Structures are given as structure tokens and as C-alpha cells.
């Protein structure tokens, strides 16, 4: 019996390799085409459904009244962290929250909340919240500002439920302040689903850097896509308002009411 291994034909091996490569390329094209069709069919104003808040947060407001985030059930609402000892660090988010309060002042279906990153155990109770509210010009008829007796409870909620990031300590003596904390605003829908997060601090930094770059190199104004950085804040606001309008019009999570067609058509 001849047990000698069969000699491989280099030409056949090359043909097999080329065939496999062709199959991979065709497969990639099909997948990419399907993805593009899916993207084109999606409503770009519809914010994604990230997660559902699984826990409530009971707290006290700036007047010392016991309340909770459950007051926003069946409403569309925004929430952001506030650091009473470092209000300037979260200036852009706070300014946007105040702008939203004014924009949706007459809309009872929209609410806003600020959760303190410091609790009573770090010296921030209702009295300190009231002082911050007054100094920052926060409209408490539209915005509730909350604290609890446990700092870790508040920070845990900001991190785990709202997914806005962690609060951490900076090195001692850091001129930026003791605490580093999230600067984002979360959009929550009527079913308590986290729908989107917006970072206006990053948008402002992008805008400021673009202005500096443009001053140093005016030719950048003609670069494709550069206007995205120059208009970063404006674009983010537009996205936020489009997302909010979409969610307000939803008849169920992620599904917007379809316009009625004319029966005569």
C-alpha cells in the first residue's frame, strides 16, 4: 500500500485561497449594505434605549421636603449632577438645565432634576441646597434639587442608574477643586428608560479649541467637517431638542405616533 502523502498542487491552493477571500469580501459587502439600509431607515431623531432605571431615589429637596424621582413617572425628564462646593465645574450642564427649564416652562410633561454629588454627611443638606439654588438662579418651580444623608447613595445612583460616570477625588491642592465629577445631562423617557446623555462641557471645549485653531490657521474654515467643531454647542442643543420632541411624541417606548393619512387619498 502506498502511504506516501499526496503532493499538493500550488495552483489549486491559490485558487482555494482566492475563492475564500472573494467569499469574505462579498460577505462583508452584503453586511455593510444591510447596515447602511438599516441606518437609512432609522429615524435620526430617535434616541437609543440604553437601559431602564431599576431603582428610585428618595431624597430631600432644597426646602427639606421628602420627595423622590418617582414624581417623574410618565414624564420626559432631564437630570444632571450638581456639586454645591464646586458649582463652576459643572457650569455648562447647569446652564443648559436652566435653559431647558425656561424652554419647557409651560410643558407639564417635561421635568428637570439636579442631584447633589455631596450628601448631608459631607455637609450638603437642604439648607446648603437652598443657598446654592439662590446663588445659581435655579428655577425650583420647574427643577427639583436633591440630596440625601448618604453621599455614596447619591453617587452610586448617578453612576449605576443614570450612567453618568463616577465622582472621584483629585490630588490634594489641585486648583480645579477637590472633586472630579460627570458633566453630562441624561434624558429619561416616560417609562423611566435612559435614552441619551449630552456633554455640554465637551461641546464647549471643542468649540473653544476650534476657534483657537481657526485663528491660527484661517484655511481650516474650508476644511470639510470643520464646522462641526465650530458649531459643537449649537449642534448638541439641536440634537437634544430633536430627541426630546421625538420622545414626547412616542406612544410607547421607541415608537413614535405615525401621522394619520388622509382617508380621501
- The CATH code of domain 51-199 reads 3.40.30.10
> In the chain, where are the structural domains located?
51-199
Poorest-pLDDT segment among 13-22, 70-79, 106-115: 13-22
215-229: average pLDDT? 90
Return the pLDDT at 87: 84
* Four-residue CA torsion sign, 31, 33, 34, 35: positive
Contact 200, 80 (CB under 8 A): no
Lowest mean pLDDT among 15-29, 85-99, 181-195, 207-221: 15-29
pTM for the full predicted model: 0.77
Strongest mean pLDDT among 33-37, 135-139, 195-199: 195-199
Average pLDDT, the chain: 86
Cβ pair 170, 178 in contact under 8 A: yes
Q: Whose CA is closest to 230, among 253, 251, 248, 214?
A: 214
Amino acid at each position: 500500500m502506498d502511504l506516501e502523502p499526496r503532493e499538493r498542487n500550488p495552483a489549486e491552493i491559490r485558487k482555494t485561497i482566492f475563492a475564500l477571500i472573494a467569499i469574505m469580501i462579498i460577505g462583508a459587502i452584503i453586511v455593510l449594505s444591510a447596515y447602511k439600509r438599516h441606518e437609512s431607515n432609522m429615524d435620526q431623531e430617535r434616541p437609543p434605549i440604553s437601559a431602564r432605571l431599576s431603582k428610585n431615589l428618595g431624597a430631600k429637596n432644597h426646602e427639606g421636603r421628602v420627595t423622590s424621582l418617582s414624581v417623574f413617572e410618565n414624564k420626559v425628564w432631564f437630570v444632571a449632577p450638581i456639586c454645591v462646593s464646586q458649582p463652576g465645574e459643572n457650569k455648562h450642564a447647569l446652564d443648559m438645565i436652566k435653559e431647558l427649564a425656561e424652554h419647557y416652562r409651560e410643558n407639564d410633561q417635561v421635568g428637570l432634576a439636579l442631584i447633589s454629588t455631596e450628601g448631608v454627611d459631607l455637609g450638603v443638606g437642604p439648607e446648603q441646597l437652598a443657598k446654592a439654588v439662590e446663588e445659581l438662579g435655579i428655577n425650583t418651580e420647574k427643577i427639583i434639587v436633591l440630596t440625601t444623608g448618604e453621599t455614596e447613595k447619591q453617587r452610586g445612583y448617578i453612576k449605576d442608574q443614570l450612567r453618568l460616570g463616577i465622582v472621584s477625588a483629585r490630588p490634594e491642592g489641585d486648583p480645579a477643586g477637590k472633586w472630579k465629577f460627570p458633566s453630562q445631562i441624561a434624558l429619561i423617557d416616560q417609562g423611566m428608560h435612559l435614552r441619551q446623555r449630552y456633554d455640554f462641557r465637551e461641546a464647549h471645549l471643542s468649540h473653544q479649541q476650534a476657534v483657537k485653531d481657526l485663528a491660527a490657521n484661517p484655511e481650516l474654515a474650508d476644511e470639510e467637517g470643520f464646522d462641526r467643531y465650530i458649531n459643537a454647542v449649537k449642534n448638541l442643543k439641536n440634537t437634544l431638542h430633536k430627541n426630546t420632541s421625538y420622545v414626547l411624541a412616542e406612544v410607547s417606548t421607541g415608537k413614535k405616533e405615525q401621522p394619520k393619512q388622509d382617508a380621501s387619498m
